[in-house]
Amino acid sequence: MLEIESLCVHYGRREVLHRMTLAPMQAGRVTALLGPNGSGKSTFMRGIAGLVRAEGRIRLGGKDLSSLAVGERSRLAAYLPQSLPPTVHLQVIEAVMVARRAGEAVSAECALRDSTDVLEELGIGHLALRYMDELSGGQRQMVGLAQALVRRPAMLLLDEPLSALDLRYQFAVMDVVRRETRKRNIVTLLVVHDLNIALQRADDVVYMRNGRLVAQGSVMGVTTPEVLGDVYGVETRLEVCPRGLPHVLVDGIIGEDA
């Protein structure tokens, strides 16, 4: 379980996150972090991962993350950044093995076994011998996910993992993320811009605006036209599609005549 209390982040003298306190996020559930551009989503994720200095309390499974050594913290909280680092000329299997051995001293055999397993689990075993700098954006995104999962984290922080993906791949990656979150019983928090994918595939949502929490809860529990109007400034209707999944239709921008 992830607990966040009074999280504040400053860039220089400017406060970007303002004392954000959230209800505990349970392991085995996927939470989508939603909000307009510049609302502080990446900063929030980076604050949890320890990549920017944050005040407040962040506890994962009862452990205060700020009390952990950097290596231990980054092993427990695997962070996949918005833009993946430039690729090196490594084979996929080597890149995943490097990630496996970064957080923990394990033998090459063990790293190879774990890396092979995770690539198979994600359905990308066939990419193992391909070179990282020859992959498509979507394939690299999947390898990034493999690199995060191979470290056996207790929490996955994924910053816009769907941004480089085509429509089918977006759903496929969300399905993999859901499955692994449940199987490994980890806390997963991800930033997604496509509201409908988030609503259809996440368990819970956190809406933020201007560095503040607007609403948090189950997808259907808190997603209302009022909340969406407050967060995004748009007029919406919420429909339920035949498979019982929510779907948002945007009618216009609040305050603008049609």
Closest CA to 66 of 78, 48, 43, 79: 48
Instruction: Please say which residue, 38 or 221, places its beta carbon nearer to ligand ATP.
Output: 38
Query: Where in 119-230 does DSSP place strands (E)?
Result: 155-159, 187-191, 204-209, 212-218
H or E stretch including 138? helix 137-149
CB of 157 to ligand ATP, least distance (A): 12
Instruction: Please say which residue, 33 or 99, places its beta carbon nearer to ligand ATP.
Output: 33
CB of 92 to ligand ATP, least distance (A): 27
Instruction: Please say which residue, 38 or 71, places its beta carbon nearer to ligand ATP.
Output: 38
Surface-to-core class of residue 39, CB atoms within 10 Å of its CB (0-12 exposed, 13-18 middle, 19+ buried)? buried
Considering CB under 6 A, how many residues would be counted as binding ligand ATP?
A: 10
Is 11 one of the binding residues for ligand ATP (CB under 6 A)? yes
Residues 6+ apart with CB under 8 A from 130: 91, 92, 139
User: Encoding tokens for residue 138?
Assistant: 């979507």
Is 190 one of the binding residues for ligand ATP (CB under 6 A)? no
Distances in Å between the alpha carbon of 74 and those of 49, 66, 194, 198? 7, 11, 27, 25
CB of 68 to ligand ATP, least distance (A): 23
CB of 38 to ligand ATP, least distance (A): 4
Closest CA to 47 of 84, 85, 17: 17
Instruction: Please say which residue, 112 or 214, places its beta carbon nearer to ligand ATP.
Output: 214
H or E stretch including 226? helix 225-232
Q: What is the footprint of ligand ATP within residues 24-63 (CB under 6 A)?
A: 35, 37-43
Helix (H, G, I), strand (E, B) or coil at 17: strand
- Tokens 């993906």, residue? 165
Letter string b/e over residues 88-106, b meaning 16 or more CB atoms within 10 A of that residue's CB: eeeebbbbbbebbbebeee
CB of 126 to ligand ATP, least distance (A): 32
Of 2, 4, 16, 198, which one interacts with ligand ATP (CB under 6 A)?
Answer: 16
Instruction: Please say which residue, 43 or 216, places its beta carbon nearer to ligand ATP.
Output: 43
Instruction: Please say which residue, 83 or 107, places its beta carbon nearer to ligand ATP.
Output: 83
- Chain-centre distance of CA 193, in angstroms? 11
Instruction: Please say which residue, 40 or 161, places its beta carbon nearer to ligand ATP.
Output: 40
CB of 165 to ligand ATP, least distance (A): 16
Is 83 one of the binding residues for ligand ATP (CB under 6 A)? no
Contact call for residues 54 and 47 (beta carbons, < 8 A): yes
CB of 250 to ligand ATP, least distance (A): 17
Q: Would you tell me which residues interact with ligand ATP (CB under 6 A)?
A: 11, 16, 35, 37-43
